[in-house]
Amino acid sequence: MVMNLTQRTDDLLDDSLAALRAAAGDAERTRAVRALFEGLRSLRGAGCADSWRAVTSRVMAHPVRALIHEDPMTRRSFEKPRGYAGDAVLLDYIYRHTVLEDVTSTGRVVNDYAVGRPAACAVRHRRDYLAHRIDRVADRVEGARVLSVACGHLREGELSTAVRTGALGELVALDADEDSLAVVARAAYPRVRPVTLSIARLLAAGTRLGHFDLIYSAGLYDYLAQDLAAKLTERLFESLLPGGELLVSNFLPGVTDAGFMESFMGWELLLRDLPAIEAFGACVDPAQVADARVFEDPFGAIGYCELSRR
């Protein structure tokens, strides 16, 4: 099996390199990138975790990586300048918030294709959905308080009428990355308060931030061990006001782009199925839960856990 995967990997990478070098236009480049994505998906599903690690090692050593990394989004994810792959700057590429400049034809095609894939579509859908949830709580509760945990650049704020117009009582934008919070501060949203706080300090601080009508966290749980995710969920739930809602998300094992993400992007997430996502609420007192549900997005890429307090 390992020998077979090794040969299949080498063939895929060699063919991709040859196709990209020979491509006469963007249509041919796109076909080559599509074949690479699909080939990686097949390889990832063909073996165990150890054999997939052997595949990713061969990817890193192959000259085609330099061509794929002409896409600044893919290269940034792999290089991890802030210590992890999915930082707020990378998400801005996925949101198409960042304009590509001085990028090669191959880099632009890789970016266009990757940003159009289900994983990226799911990330944009998540941002849009969070903006909707903020507006919904603002309509439901006068002077609503909202907490965004690991807020990044808070791009959902651009799509939320309540955030843009100051219709909330307050939105606390919490992140450990001061560079990300500086972007939030420059947006100058009314009634948005950036707060620098790590998850460890958040767990210790508890309700010292106050209580909220809506608490959400978009990409944080993808990096948390299951026990820590459950403890954090318990802590956040305790910070809800009566009738308040908690919404967290996690990438699903069925995401079709995991092969490219884990190899060329070096973006390794803790993928969880819906029962594992539902288990985030394992430490929450069930007597305090008015409603609980788990669901997945239209792309089958991200799952959500929602808990509401009595």
Give the model confidence (pLDDT) of 120-132 as tens digits. Answer: 999 999 999 999 9
Cα-Cα-Cα-Cα torsion 33, 35, 41, 46, nearest 10 degrees, comes to: -140
Predicted confidence band at 204 (pLDDT cuts at 50, 70, 90)? Answer: confident
Q: Band of the pLDDT at 110, cuts 50, 70, 90?
A: very high
Per-residue pLDDT tens over the stretch 68-88: 999 999 999 999 999 999 999
- In this prediction, residue 190 carries a pLDDT of 97
Q: What structural domains does the chain harbor?
A: 1-67 (no CATH), 120-309 (3.40.50.150)
Q: State what percent of residues in the chain have pLDDT above 90.
A: 95
pLDDT tens digits for range 84-99: 999 999 999 999 999 9
pLDDT value at 62 more than 60: yes
Predicted confidence band at 206 (pLDDT cuts at 50, 70, 90)? Answer: low
pLDDT surpassing 80 at residue 24: yes
Tell me if 172 sits within 8 A of 165, measured CB to CB.
no
- pTM listed for this prediction: 0.96
**DSSP letters along 112-175, please?**
HHHHTSHHHHHHHHHHHHHHHHHHHHHHHSTT-EEEEET-TT-THHHH-HHHHHT-SSEEEEEE
Is the pLDDT confidence value at 268 over 80?
yes
| Mean pLDDT of the chain, nearest integer | 96
pLDDT band at 267 (very low <50, low <70, confident <90, very high): very high
Q: Above 60 in pLDDT, residue 13?
A: yes
Whether the per-residue pLDDT at 113 is higher than 70: the answer is yes
Q: What is the pLDDT of residue 48?
A: 87
Strand pairing class (145-149; 212-217): parallel
Query: What one-letter code names the amino acid at 180?
Result: S
Residue 2 has pLDDT above 80, yes or no: no
Structural contact between residues 245 and 137, judged by C-beta atoms closer than 8 angstroms: yes
Determine the 3-state secondary structure of 293 from DSSP: strand
Give the pLDDT mean for 171-187: 97
pLDDT digits (tens, 9 = 90+) for 253-263: 999 999 999 99
CA 88 to centroid of chain Cα atoms: 9
